[in-house]
Structure 1
Amino acid sequence: MTTLGLIGSGHIGSQLARAAVAHGYDVLVSNSRGPDSLSELILELGERATAGTTADAATADLVAVAIPLKDVQNIPADLLGGKIVIDTSNYYPRRDGTIAPLDAGEMTVSEFVQAHFADARLVKAFNHIQAPAITDDAQSAGTAERRALIVAGDDDDAKKIVSGFIDAIGFDVLDIGPLSASWRIEAGTPAFGPRRDREELEIDIAQATRSARH
C-alpha cells in the first residue's frame, strides 16, 4: 500500500495527509470545494501530494473519510465498494442533527457509516485523537509509553492494513474488536481524547459504559 486518499481536508484530513507524506506515502486529497481550493495544502505537502475529486481519492490504496458525519451520505454509497476505508467519524448532534439509531444506541457511529458504504471494508480509527496530536504525538516504534490508537472493524485483513499505517506514522495500535464494539471509544467515553499508551488505553476501553448515546 503506497497511496492514501483523503475524503475531507479539514483538521483531521489535512493532518493525516501531513503524517502520511512525512512517512513516505503518496496522498490524494479531496474536499467538497474542489481541487482548486487545495492548492495551498498541496504546496505545503510537496511532490507526494495531489489534489483531486472525491472520486479520485476513492481510487487510492487506502481511503480515509474525514468529514462531518452529516455529510457522509452525500458521498455515493457505491464509491468505496471493496475499498479499505478508515472511518474517523464522530457524532455531534448540534453539528450533525439528530440521528435516531445513534441516539437510541441501536448502532455505533461506524456501523451507521458502514450501513451507507455497505460494500466498503470499514475500519474505525483516528476518531479519538485531536488533530494536532496526529503529528505532535507521533513516535518511533519501540518508544517507551508510545501513544496508542484503536482500530475496530469486521474485516481482520483490513484492520491489519490500517494498523500497519497507524504504526508507520507513529503510534501503537489496540484492536478493540468489531464495529459493534466501537461505542467504547465514542465521544464521552474515558478513552476519547486523552493521550494513552497501549496499557492505559486497554484500561479505558474496559471501563467504558454504554448509555443511549453510546
Structure 2
Amino acid sequence: MKIGIIGAGSIGSTIARRLSRRGHDVKIANSRGPETIDAAALSTGADPVTAADAAHDVDVLIVSVPMNRNSDIAAHVKAAPEGALVIDTSNYYPVRDGAMQAFDDGQPESVWLSELFGRPVAKAWNAITSQSLDDKATEPGDPHRVAIPVAADDDAHRALAMSLVEETGFDAVDAGVLADSWRQQPGSPVYCTDRTREDMPHWLAAAEKERVPQRRDLVMTCIGDYIEAGGTVDGRFFVAINRACYS
C-alpha cells in the first residue's frame, strides 16, 4: 500500500518505521524539508519527501501535526487522490494551539478536520503517548497488548485504519463514527491511558462530553505545576496521571 505521512514528529516517525517494516511504500514529510527528517524515521525504508509529494499518489495519507498547523497543510491534503483515506492523529490543546472556537463549542476535532480538508477522515493513533507507541508494540494475542481506538464514518475506512493500527503493534478498537470521536480526545478515559482491547469499550462508554475538556485542562495545569517544581515528566508519568484523573 502507498502511504504518505505529513508530520515527522515522534508519532509520525514511529508510524513510518512500523509501516515501512511491514512492506508498505511509505513517504514522510515535515515542515522544514526532507533533508531535515531524522534518520530514525527512515531506518526501515520510508522516503523523505516534501509535504506536497507526501500527498501525491497515495492510498492513505496520515496527518500527524499539531492541531493549529492543520490549516497550513490543508491544500496538500485536498490535493491527495480522491479515493485516498486521510487519517488524523492530532489533538487539541488550547495551551499549545491557542483557542479554537469550534472545539471550545464542542465540535469533535476530526469532524472539524473533515470539513477543513473536504475529505472523509479516520481518527487513529491520537490516544496513545509517543513513548507507548514506541515502546509497547506487541504481537496479536498478547493479553496485555495496548489498544488504540479508531473512529470513522465509513465502515470500510474504519476497517482500513484499524488494520494499519494492528500492523503498528496494537489492538485496534472500533470507536464508531466521527461524531462520537470526542470519546477518544484529550481528557477522555481512553486518552493515553494504555487500555486493553477488553477494557476499552467500557471506558469509551464512560466518557462524559462536558467533563472531557475540563479534565484535559486540569491535567495540563497539574503537569505544568509539577514541572515548575522540578519534576520530570515521561510517558509513564503521563499515563499514570491520565488514569488517575480521566477514569
Is TM-score (shorter-chain normalized) higher than 0.5?
yes
2:133 corresponds to which residue? Answer: 134
Percent identity (aligned): 35
Give SS of 1:98's match: coil
In the alignment, does 2:64 pair up with 1:66?
A: yes
In 2: Cα distance, 1:149 partner to 1:115 partner: 24
Conserved in 1, the CA contact under 8 Å of 2:188 and 2:212?
Answer: no
Give SS of 2:61's match: strand
The AA in structure 2 aligned to 1:74 is: D
Q: What TM-score, normalized by structure 2, do the two folds share? A: 0.79
Change (3 A) 1:21 1:78: closer
Deviation at 1:156, TM superposition (A): 1.1
1:54 corresponds to which residue? Answer: 51
In 1: Cα distance, 2:142 partner to 2:54 partner: 33
Query: How many residues are aligned here?
Result: 209
Q: What TM-score, normalized by structure 1, do the two folds share? A: 0.91
2:78 corresponds to which residue? Answer: 78
Deviation at 1:88, TM superposition (A): 0.5
Change (3 A) 1:212 1:140: closer
RCO higher in 1 or 2 (8 Å CA, sep ≥ 6)?
1
2:155 corresponds to which residue? Answer: 156
Deviation at 1:82, TM superposition (A): 3.3
Matches within 5 A, 1:101-180: 101-105=102-106, 107-118=107-118, 120-180=119-179
Range moving further from structure 2, 133-142 or 191-200: 133-142
1:38 corresponds to which residue? Answer: 37
In 2: Cα distance, 1:26 partner to 1:135 partner: 20
Change (3 A) 1:193 1:213: closer
Deviation at 1:169, TM superposition (A): 1.9
| Stretches of 4+ aligned residues off by more than 3 angstroms | none
In 2: Cα distance, 1:96 partner to 1:39 partner: 24
The AA in structure 2 aligned to 1:49 is: A
Change (3 A) 1:35 1:103: same
- Map Cα deviations across residues 37-77 of structure 1 (whole Å, 9 max, x no partner): 126345x514x221111121112221110001101011216
CA RMSD of aligned residues (A): 1.7
In 1: Cα distance, 2:152 partner to 2:181 partner: 8
Structure 1 residue ranges without an equivalent (≥5):
none
Structure 2 residue ranges without an equivalent (≥5):
214-247
Conserved in 2, the CA contact under 8 Å of 1:39 and 1:51?
Answer: no
In 1: Cα distance, 2:155 partner to 2:52 partner: 26
- Map Cα deviations across residues 71-121 of structure 1 (whole Å, 9 max, x no partner): 10112162234320110110011111111111011x101111111111x23
Conserved in 1, the CA contact under 8 Å of 2:18 and 2:167?
Answer: no
Conserved in 2, the CA contact under 8 Å of 1:15 and 1:132?
Answer: no
Deviation at 1:202, TM superposition (A): 1.0
Bigger helix share: 2
- Map Cα deviations across residues 15-56 of structure 1 (whole Å, 9 max, x no partner): 1112212322231010110111126345x514x221111121
In 2: Cα distance, 1:57 partner to 1:31 partner: 9
In 2: Cα distance, 1:148 partner to 1:213 partner: 20
Q: Of the two, which has the highest radius of gyration?
A: 2
